[in-house]
Amino acid sequence: MSYINGKDRKVRIALPSKGRLSEDSLKLMEESGLAVKKTNERQYMARIPAMPEVEVLFQRVADIALSVRDGIVDFGFTGLDVVSETQNESKDILVMLEKLGFGSCKLCAIVPETSESVSEMKDVMALVPVKKESLRVATKFPNLTRRFFEAHNIFNVDYIQAEGALEIAPLIGYADMITDLVSSGLTLRDNRLKVLDDGLILDSQACLIANRSNLVTSPRVMEVARRLLEFIVAYLRAQNNVTVFANIRGDSPEAVAELVLGKKVIRGLQGPTISRVITHQGENWFAVNLVIQKSQLADAIIELRSIGGSGVVVTPVNFIFEEEPEAYTRLLAELKVDDAR
């Protein structure tokens, strides 16, 4: 697809218009330093003050994937499930970030609990009623479902595309089984349904997507892609880390560094930053600054104390910027283009 609506239009980013995905997408943008501002809450357009060349559109989750695929919108935040269902053979939708950390769900193959002999995909033809030839599967994701069933060598299937609640379909005889999104599994249990042991079709969450052709043909779109990846990745990367400051006695920065680097956890991402502490008594104290994973904090405190660390201070990390975001490097490789900056 070409860069639709002319070269002079603003770069467009589509966000979900309502629901939890909308709230979480707006929160991610704000905390990544790219806050979205609406002049009117009822409007379906907004702006990003930090990126004046961009306009934000609010659409349904499924429509975002279509708009990006067709090049009407350059970027979008939506679910990987709808992206995978909507993707075409020419791969016009490019997934820039597959995991944004929210909107998690699983697309699964589901059968009635009463079908005790059916626990795996190889068993599903046993669900076909007598005098029927085809397995009837109700789904909102016919493309993904078809590919999944054919991968299991099951071809004699009638795919019934349906909207609304699918859980009742097997109960009323509308379908023999369903494929649907599962989060907690509570709805399935309430309706006496079960996921097949090998019935995971897709593990999905919110993702950031772009139109492949628009990236290649418009330097402005590519520059926005770089900025989105730089700030969002830096924010996401920081969420699992904390900064630790501690004072340690030593003869020199190198001697203190040797103590720190000899430990498993407090080695940090690349190593410690060490500076001399100017003390009242002129003692040899050094301040150590390092970044570690939040889950390893307890071990880090033990290791610091074992080498004489004291006055330990722990603070959150808001961003961790790389020299060049790996996601952006992958994007350039996928498009087979050079960085034109």
Reported as a single tens digit per residue, the pLDDT across 206-248 is 999 999 999 999 999 999 999 999 999 999 999 999 999 999 9
> Confidence band (pLDDT; 50, 70, 90) for 7?
low
Cβ neighbour number for residue 312 with a 10 Å cutoff: 15
Residue 1 has pLDDT above 50, yes or no: no
Locus of tokens 């309430």: 190
Domain residue spans in the chain? 11-103+205-238, 105-204, 241-316
105-204 placed in CATH 3.40.190.10: yes
What DSSP letter does each residue of 197-245 carry, written as one string?
EEEEEEEE-EEEEEEHHHHHH-HHHHHHHHHHHHHHHHHHHHTTEEEEE
Fold that domain 11-103+205-238 belongs to in CATH = D-Maltodextrin-Binding Protein; domain 2 (3.40.190)
Interval 288-296 mean pLDDT: 93
Same fold, 11-103+205-238 and 241-316: no
- pLDDT given for residue 113 in this prediction: 95
Q: What percent of the chain stands above pLDDT 90?
A: 83
Interval 155-159 mean pLDDT: 96
- pLDDT given for residue 26 in this prediction: 97
78-107 residue pLDDT tens: 999 999 999 999 899 999 999 999 999 999
> Confidence band (pLDDT; 50, 70, 90) for 2?
very low
For the chain, give the mean pLDDT: 92
CA angle 332, 336, 337 (to 5 degrees): 65
pTM of the entire structure?
0.88
- Those residues with Cβ within 8 angstroms of residue 315's Cβ, 6 or more apart along the chain or in another chain: 242, 243, 245
- pLDDT given for residue 5 in this prediction: 59
Q: How many CA atoms, within 13 angstroms, populate the side-chain half-sphere of residue 249?
A: 5
130-139, 232-241, 264-273, 294-303: lowest mean pLDDT where?
264-273
Decide: 268 and 248 in contact? Cβ < 8 Å. Answer: no
Q: What percent of the chain stands above pLDDT 70?
A: 97
Decide: 72 and 6 in contact? Cβ < 8 Å. Answer: no
Interval 255-270 mean pLDDT: 88
* CATH architecture for residues 241-316: 2-Layer Sandwich (3.30)
Decide: 211 and 68 in contact? Cβ < 8 Å. Answer: yes
Interval 243-260 mean pLDDT: 94
Interval 255-280 mean pLDDT: 88
